[in-house]
Every structure is written in structure tokens, then in C-alpha cells.
Structure 1
Amino acid sequence: MTGERQPIPFGINLSFCVKRWVTPQLWAPLVRERFDLDLVQFSFDLVDPMWPDFILDRHAAALRREAQASGIAVHSAFIGLAHYTFNQLLHPDPAVRDYAEEWLGRAYRFAALAGIPRVGGPLGAIPSRLDGSEADALDAADYDCLIARMHRLGARAAAEGLSELYVEPTPMRREWPWTVAQARQMMTDVADSPVPWRLCPDWGHGTFEPLYGPDHGAMEPWFRDLSDVITAVHIQQTDFLLDRHWDFTVPGKVDPVEAAALLRRTGIAPAPVFLEVFYPFEHDSGSILNALEATSARIRQAFA
């Protein structure tokens, strides 16, 4: 029926699996049976694209096989925390930037073999200054280098048969982009990429008050002004003071019902939303599963 409200696609990023449920034989039953979800975003914390090809090929085949057998769609793959800790495509050493570009190229190869059509994540960070001050913009040479690498990566992704690449904006002046205007400029500057670059905003990033202030509108300006280039979203529970990545059993400022209303109001709602949570390695696995089961049920209900 025309005008009927459609459910918002909801899935989970496999960040919760790090050092725990590290193979598809382990995480697929949890996603499908325990959390009652059929949509995931893979994390490269579970597979290092720089492993030898014979290992990567075996893991890609297993991922494709187990996801299909479990009725799980793997929408995309994100770089994960391990690679994010490096400065990647904005490291001060050009050779490190080259290595990070090759890392992403190999991530594209793995994704293609595993049947994952999209890859993304934050792209890099410039180093801090000795006095601790931070600029409002990247140096022009750094930005131009980043855009050139994004074009090359678009060509590499096209060669692998991928359909989309993602940039995840982060709330840090040393990374790019961290404002709506910067994100728009970046999307304009890579508009002719052989594979389209799109945005995946995170609820804990756009709401970061120490950077943006308490009255900046939180996620609404991101969704409203960039709706044409946003095709996925990360959701987390947070307090707007740090990028918490809590589950929704923890008290915070993100309400799933209000989130769903915002996604629909701004036209983002057809895009999938992925829960992205992280836990200390010493956190017991049983309580994590209980929390994610409750969280998934709560968000599924809000997004229905």
C-alpha cells in the first residue's frame, strides 16, 4: 500500500566478536538464532587482509558459505579497530600511506571473494602537534593526497567488482571529514570515482558535544544535509561526551524510538542501520550475549 511505513533495515557490526566469536561458524548462529537478525556488517578485526592469499581465500569461502547457509546477508565490511589505530592514509610517512592503500586494496579483494559488495571505514589521521593544538582543516597537500588515493581505491574496487565504498566521519579534527561541510566537499571531490564513495555516519560521532557543542543539532544536520550520500548508519548508546559504543542495556542519550523517527523524517530510513558496540577484552562473554540479545530486541521493535 502506498504510504505504508516500512521497517528500517537493522543489523549488527561484528565488532562484538573480536577475540571471541572469530569465525563465521561461531558468529553466524549467534546473529541468526540468538539475536534474531539476518543482516551483518563484517569487521576486519576478524580477518587481516595482509594474511597470505591461501589463508584469506579459505576464510572468504567459509564466510560466504556460512552466511548463505544461515540466511544472513553480509551488507558490507568495515576496517575495524585494529587498523583504525594506525594513521592509515594520512600518516606523515608516505610509505605508510602506500601500505595503508594496499591494505585497503587487499580488503577489497577479500570482500569480493566473500561475496561482500561494500567496504569502508575511517580513512586516516594526521599526527598531533607538539603543542597539542589542533587545526580546523587538513593541510591542502594532505587533503589532495587523500582524494587522489580515494580515486585510485575506487578504481581498485571496481576491478574487484565492488559496488560501493564508505567513509565514516569521525569527531576528531585530525581526521577527515568531521563536519557536514567537509563531508559534502569530500563527496563532491570523489563524485567521479569508478565505484561510488558514500557516507556511513555514526550516532556517537555526530553527537560528540566536546567538539560540536551542546546545541549543534546532533545527528539531524548530518542526515538532513547529506541524505543523498548516506547509505548506511551506525547506531550505539552513548552519552554525547565520548564515543562510547555501548549497547542499549546501558543508560544513555540515544532513544531507539526517537532514532527511528529521525531516520524516517530525514529520508535516511531506507538505508540499513548497524549496531556497533565494543567491549573490554576481559568482559565475560555470557553477559555480552545477554546484553546484545536484549539490545537487538529493543531496536528491532523500535525500527519495525
Structure 2
Amino acid sequence: MKYPKIYLALDNCFALKRWVEPETWLPLIKDLGYTSIQASYDNEFDMLYNTKEYIASWLERLTAAEKQYGAKVQSFYSGYQTYRTSGLAHPDKRVVNSIVEGWIKPAVKIAGEKNVDMGFALHGIPENIMQNSEKYRECHKKLYRIYSDIGEYARKNGQVRVCVEAMYSPHHTPWTIEGTKEFLKNVYSLDGNAIYTTVDIGHMTGQHKFRKPEKEAIEKSLFNHPIKGYCPLWLGSDSAYAIWMMRLLESWIRNRQS
């Protein structure tokens, strides 16, 4: 078996607000021993708050710094800024269109010109949609179509691989392994346009908070916790919480009768 050659890259998020220009953070990363870099849009390179003129200048300076110091940006990725919007899952189409036309398409064109990959986490599902199964399904149908169109745009503008970051809670889909498989499959099934995923292992640390507890865990939390009836295990939907409360009541009645 021939294994792929893998390069360890460093994200420049650590440089936020301190090393804010390519000619300052790139040699710093090279001095740390890295020649492959993931550049964050958050570090003064975001389409939402930078001008076109500045972005063009930034890219020219990046190219010059790459040649001078012998390190290269292999991918662009969003972080803090785009996590703060419902984005592509927003109920108002004007917000969705603004994100697609004002952020994603310019980012794809830049990635294509630089021959690099890119990624983001650009949708969060509002609570009122999360609580309604029909609205939830409809929201995802729209998301699949949006991402399929993004995949097509990326393919036609430099064969850019667009990655959707797997997140860590139910309203940030996809957030499980099976959910991620389903997400990628459903996008691809529309028109054969591929969207990829990025796994952030740090996102897995809190996922146990969203797992449905076993009956024994519910009873234990009811009778053994200092605050009776308090259970920190379930952060699901209102309907699921109602079921949980009913289970608590049933357990309490059984224990009173025994």
C-alpha cells in the first residue's frame, strides 16, 4: 500500500490582532519550522469588512512573502467571523444571497487563482426551525441546493475544493459522523457537485452533552444529584425535553410507591 504524503500545516489564527500582514506572520510561521500554512480569513482578510482594493493588495503581498520566505498558504479558512451568523440557513433570502455573493463567491475565485482549498462553517439553524421537524427538513433541502450550487461554482472557478467544517452541536450541521455522510451525499446527489468536510477534533469534546441519556442515568440524576430533578445530560429539543420530564415523573412515582 502506498500512503499519501501528508504535510503538517499551521493556521495563522494565533496571529490575530498582533501579526496582521502577510509579511509579518508568514516569516514567523516559517521560523517555527512550517512551510505549509492555513490562512484564516479572520486575520484581516475577510470579504465582509475588507475592501476589494485591500484584498487585492493583500494577495500581492502574500505572494511576495511566500517567494521570499519559502512557505506557502495551502488553504484559506474562516473562523470566528462567520461563526457569528446564521448565514446560509437564515430564514431571510436576502441574508443568504448576501453571504453567497459577497463572501463565498469572491473567496472561491481567490482560492481558484491561488490554487488552494478553502472552507468555512457558514450556517446555523435558528431555534424555531430546530423545534419543527417539517421546517427542519425544508431548511436542509434549501441548504443542499445552496451547497450544490457553491460546489458547481467552485468547480468552474479553479476546481476549488470547498470544505464545510463539521461542528459540535445539533444546530450546526453536520455535527455527527453519520450526519456528515448524509450531508455530503445529499449535496452530491443533486447535480454531482462535490462539497467536502473538515474534521476539527476539538469540536468533539462537548458532543456528549447532546447525547440522549439512558433511563438509568435519568433516574440517577433525579435521586442522587444535590439539586433534585437536575440533569445536565440533555440539551435537545423542547419535545425531547418534555419526554425527559415525563420519564422523570414516572421514575419519581415508581420510587415513591416502592
TM-score, normalised to structure 2's length? 0.72
Partner AA of 2:74 in structure 1: H
Q: 2:163 aligns with which of 166, 172, 176?
A: 166
Q: Provide the C-alpha distance between the structure 2 equivalents of 1:107 and 1:76, rounded to a whole number of angstroms.
A: 11
RMSD of aligned Cα (Å): 2.9
Q: Is the 8 A contact 1:123 1:176 kept in 2?
A: no
Q: Which residue pairs with 1:41 in the alignment?
A: 38
Name the structure 2 match of 1:81.
80
Q: CA deviation at 1:174?
A: 0.8
Return the TM-score normalized by structure 1: 0.61
Distance in 1 (CA, whole Å) between partners of 2:161 and 2:39 is 15
> Does the CA contact (< 8 Å) of 2:118 and 2:161 recur in 1?
yes
For residues 120 and 138 of structure 1, do their structure 2 counterparts lie closer, same or farther at Cα, with a shift above 3 Å needed?
farther
Counterparts of 1:84-233 in structure 2, within 5 Å, are 84-102=83-101, 103-113=103-113, 115-129=114-128, 139-191=136-188, 196-208=194-206, 209-212=208-211
CA distance in structure 2 between the partners assigned to 1:28 and 1:55 by the alignment:
18
| Residue ranges of structure 2 left out of the alignment (5+ in a row) | 214-258
Offset at residue 68 of structure 1 (A): 3.0
Q: Identity percentage over the alignment?
A: 23
When Rg is computed on C-alpha atoms for both structures, the one with the higher figure is: 2
Distance, in Å, in 2 between the alignment partners of 1:95 and 1:206 is 33
Contact kept in structure 2, 1:163 and 1:195, CA below 8 Å: no
Residue among 2, 27, 30 paired with 1:29: 27
CA contact (8 A) 1:135 1:173 kept: no
Q: 2:4, 2:154 → 1: CA distance?
A: 32
* Deviation by residue 1:49-91 (Cα, 9 ceiling, x = unmatched): 2433222211112112212322223221111211221111011
User: What amino acid maps onto 1:148 in structure 2?
Assistant: R
CA-CA distance at 1:170 after TM superposition: 0.5
Cα–Cα, structure 1 residues 135 and 121, in superposed 2: closer, same or farther, change >3 Å?
A: farther
Aligned residues: 210
Aligned to 1:58: 57
Tell me, in whole angstroms, the C-alpha distance in 1 between the residues paired with 2:153 and 2:5: 34
The structure carrying a bigger helix percent of its residues is: 2
Post-superposition offset of 1:135: 7.2
Give me the whole-angstrom Cα distance separating, in 1, the residues matched to 2:194 and 2:74.
15
Q: Is the 8 A contact 1:164 1:195 kept in 2?
A: no
Distance (whole Å) between structure 2 residues aligned to residue 161 and residue 29 of structure 1: 27
Q: 1:171 to 1:60 in 2, by over 3 A?
A: same
CA deviations 1:15-73 (Å, max 9, x no partner) are 1121111111010111001x111111111112122433222211112112212322223
The answer for the alignment partner of 1:69 in structure 2 is: 68
Q: Structure 1 stretches of 5 or more lacking a match? A: 215-304
The alpha carbon displacement at 1:7 in A equals 7.6
Which moves more between the two structures, 166-175 or 67-76?
67-76
